[in-house]
Amino acid sequence: MHCARRAVQRFGQRGLAVQAVGNGSDFTKLITNARKDRLLVIDYSATWCRPCVEFGPIFDTMSEAFAQQADFFKVDIDQLPDQTAEARVTAVPTFHLVRNGKTVATVTGADQDELEKMINKHAAAEGSN
């Protein structure tokens, strides 16, 4: 948990890997304080979900590879059930790509190729909306 707390304390800084969102207030800040047109990639997952756990290191690597294009966040669905329900997440892992407070793409399942494709597509659209 120490790493998750440290990540939340560094919330909003560029150049970091995946930032854990620890509470509803942080989640709201994440959406409302995001830089205009900045792509956010939100991983909805659970500690009891084997594909989520196995995909974690891949998501970390992707966050570093795409650091210039997007900010990466992890939401534990058991810690933030209200935000998970509001986001209409029905399976884990689910990834939402968000820009200007709106979900622009959803990838359900631990599908690295599809997630990379969606990040490339929507990161390229930065500033063109």
Q: What is the pLDDT of residues 61-119, one digit of tens each?
A: 999 999 999 999 999 999 999 999 999 999 999 999 999 889 999 999 999 999 999 99
Q: How far apart are the first and last CA of the chain?
A: 38
- Its pTM stands at 0.81
Domain ranges of the chain: 2-124
Instruction: Give the residue from 129, 87, 78, 81 showing the smallest Cα distance to 108.
Output: 87
Name the residues annotated as catalytic. 49, 52
Q: Which residue type does 44 have?
A: Y
Q: Which superfamily is assigned to 2-124 in CATH?
A: Glutaredoxin (3.40.30.10)
pLDDT digits (tens, 9 = 90+) for 79-94: 999 999 999 999 999 9
